[in-house]
Amino acid sequence: MSRKEGQIALAISAYNKGQFTSLKAACTRYDAPYSTTYDRVKGAIPQRDFRPRNQKLTDLEESALIQWMLSMEARGLPVRKDSIRQMADLLLEKRTEVGRIIVGKCWVDNFIKRHDSLRTKYTRKYDYKRAKCEDPTIIRDWFRLVHNIVEKYGILAECEGWNP
């Protein structure tokens, strides 16, 4: 919290406790700007807590969306912008009950710009050797990926094969 924010908080607290008869007196005592303190008493949101209009999702929803995207990428399934938009629309639909709210046309691009952990990645080229599975390093990498996912999510091997 900055010095100015602390002064405003002290002035509001003292005024609400009845230590001062007027807000102006509390602001003068704590050297807080009167107009900002008055706005806060009337319910204004501090600028650091203000969420712009283009951020339709809450912080929790955005972090869940990021985790989903990174988990899909770890599984070898890169997420396209359409999929991100659909997931964001689904999160909004579950949270809101009034009508259908969707994210805007440029929302995904702005979302990616806001989060440093996200960036565009290209998938591997699908070549003939990979299609024929003749390259042992590719096969080994695939089974390493499957093993990591089994370990990460605690999948139990109840049977010998894929079919129970």
**% residues pLDDT > 90 (the chain):** 30
Structure tokens of 49?
């807590």
143 belongs to a structural domain: yes
136 belongs to a structural domain: yes
Kindly give, in sequence order, each residue whose CB lies less than 8 Å from that of residue 115, ignoring residues fewer than 6 positions away. 62, 66
Find tokens 């390093």 and name the residue: 137
Domain residue limits at 135: 124-164
Average pLDDT, the chain: 82
- Total domains in the chain come to 3
Domain identity same for 133 and 103: no
80 belongs to a structural domain: yes
Domain identity same for 16 and 38: yes
54 belongs to a structural domain: no
Dihedral sign, CA of 141, 145, 146, 147?
Answer: positive
Domain identity same for 69 and 107: yes
Domain identity same for 24 and 45: yes
102 belongs to a structural domain: yes
- What is the model's pLDDT at position 96? 76
- Its pTM stands at 0.51
